[in-house]
Structure 1
C-alpha cells in the first residue's frame, strides 16, 4: 500500500473522521486486520479559525504549505487537506510539493457527474458556501449550485464553529438541517453536498429527503483508491 499524508487538526473532530473512514475502507478492501499507512500532521487550529483578511489567509497558506512539505519529506506519496475551508489555499499548497494533493471538491464533483446530478445545494462553513474556490470546482463538473441563503449561511457557520468543531452534536442542529434540506429540495436541488467535515454528526447521510454527498467520505474513498494503487 502507498503511504498517504493527511494535514489534520482543522478540527480534531474532522481528523478523527478521516482516520476512521480511511481505515474502515482499507479493511473492507483488503483484510480485517489491515491499517492504512498514514502520516498525519495535526495542526493547532487556534490561529486558523474563521479567517477573513488576506494576511490571515496568507498565514494559513504558509502553515499548510510547510505541513505538506514535511509530509512529503517524511514519505507521503499523496496528500489530503482535511478541511473543506482550507482548500481556499489549495493552489499554493499543491504547487509547493511534488506529490499529488487530492482536491475534495474535484472528487465530489466527479462522483456527482457520474451519477447524473445536475442541480445541488452546498452546505458548509461561511467561506465554503459563499466564495468561489469550492463552488467553481463543482460547477466545472457540470453541477449547477443553488445560491446560498444568507440567513442559513450564518446559522450553519455558527453551528459548525460553536458546536460541531467542539465535538457537540445537538438535537436543535439536527432539526435545523432537516428543515434546511427540505427547503433546498423545494427550491429545486437534486442533491446536497456536505462541504464541512463535521456535518455528518448532525445530518444522516443515509436517511434524508435528498441524496447526500458527504465530501469527507468521498475524499476518504479517493484517498483509499490512491493507497491501494487504484
Structure 2
C-alpha cells in the first residue's frame, strides 16, 4: 500500500470527509482492520481564502508547493490536493515534486465519460466556475461541454460556500437555492451536475437531484485509494 499525501485544511470540513472516505474505501477493498497509510499537511484556510480573494495566486501557489514538498519528504508516495479551487496550481505542484498528483478533475471526468454523459453543469467557487483551469481541462482533455450558472447565481453559489459550508453551516434555505440553480441548468440541457467544490457535498446529494450528481470529494478520494493499492 502506497502512502497518500493529503494537502488539507481548505476547508477542514471537507478534509474530514477525505480522511473518512479514504479509510472506508481501503477497508472495503482489503477488509478486516485495514486502514489507509496517509499523511496530511493541513494549511490555515484563513490565509488561503485571503490570498484567493486578493488574487495573490503566486503566494497561494508557493504554499501549495511547500505543502506538497513537505509531504514528499515525509514519505508520501502521491499527492492529493483536497479542494477543487486550488487545482488552479496543480501543474506547478506537479513540477515541484517527483511523486504523482491525482487531479480531481480527472477523477471526476473519467466517471462522467464512462457514463456516456457529454453536457455537464459545474458548481463551485467563482474561481472554479469562471476561470479556465478546471472547465478547460474537462473540455480539452475529456471532450465535455461544461455550463455554469449565470453571474448572479454564481455569486450565490460562491457566497454560500465561503460564508456557510466552509464554516460547517448547513442551511435548508441555501440548499433550496442551490437546487433552483441546478434546475435552471437542467433547463439549459445539463445531463449531470458536478459538485465542483469539496464542501458542496455537505449540502447536496444524489437524492436531491433528478440528474446524476458527481461528488468530486468522493471520486477524488476513491481515485487516491485505487492508485495507492494498485
TM-score normalised to the size of structure 2? 0.96
Match of 1:104 in 2: 104
Runs of 4+ more than 3 Å apart: none
Query: 2:121 & 2:73 partners in 1: Cα distance?
Result: 38
Give CA-to-partner distance per residue, 1:75-127, whole Å, 9 cap, x none: 11100001111011111111000000111011111111111111010000010
Match of 1:86 in 2: 86
User: Does structure 1 retain, via aligned residues, the 8 Å contact 2:148–2:185?
Assistant: no
Secondary structure at 1:66's aligned position in 2?
A: helix
Match of 1:219 in 2: 220
Match of 2:159 in 1: 158
User: Does structure 2 retain, via aligned residues, the 8 Å contact 1:13–1:166?
Assistant: yes
Query: 1:19 & 1:32 partners in 2: Cα distance?
Result: 18
> What is the correspondence of 1:71-220 to structure 2 with a 5 Å cutoff?
71-139=71-139, 140-220=141-221
Match of 2:12 in 1: 12
TM-score normalised to the size of structure 1? 0.96
Q: Give 1:205 deviation, angstroms.
A: 2.4
Query: 2:18 & 2:32 partners in 1: Cα distance?
Result: 18
User: Does structure 2 retain, via aligned residues, the 8 Å contact 1:3–1:78?
Assistant: yes
Query: 1:78 & 1:8 partners in 2: Cα distance?
Result: 14
Secondary structure at 2:193's aligned position in 1?
A: strand
Q: Give 1:206 deviation, angstroms.
A: 3.8
Give CA-to-partner distance per residue, 1:24-66, whole Å, 9 cap, x none: 1111111142211000001111111051455x11111101101
Query: 1:147 & 1:48 partners in 2: Cα distance?
Result: 24
User: Does structure 2 retain, via aligned residues, the 8 Å contact 1:109–1:137?
Assistant: no
Match of 2:67 in 1: 67
User: Does structure 2 retain, via aligned residues, the 8 Å contact 1:181–1:209?
Assistant: no
User: Does structure 1 retain, via aligned residues, the 8 Å contact 2:124–2:158?
Assistant: yes
Query: 2:30 & 2:176 partners in 1: Cα distance?
Result: 38
Secondary structure at 1:102's aligned position in 2?
A: coil
Query: 1:6 & 1:205 partners in 2: Cα distance?
Result: 26
The number of residue pairs the alignment matches comes to: 228
Secondary structure at 1:93's aligned position in 2?
A: helix
Query: 1:40 & 1:165 partners in 2: Cα distance?
Result: 18
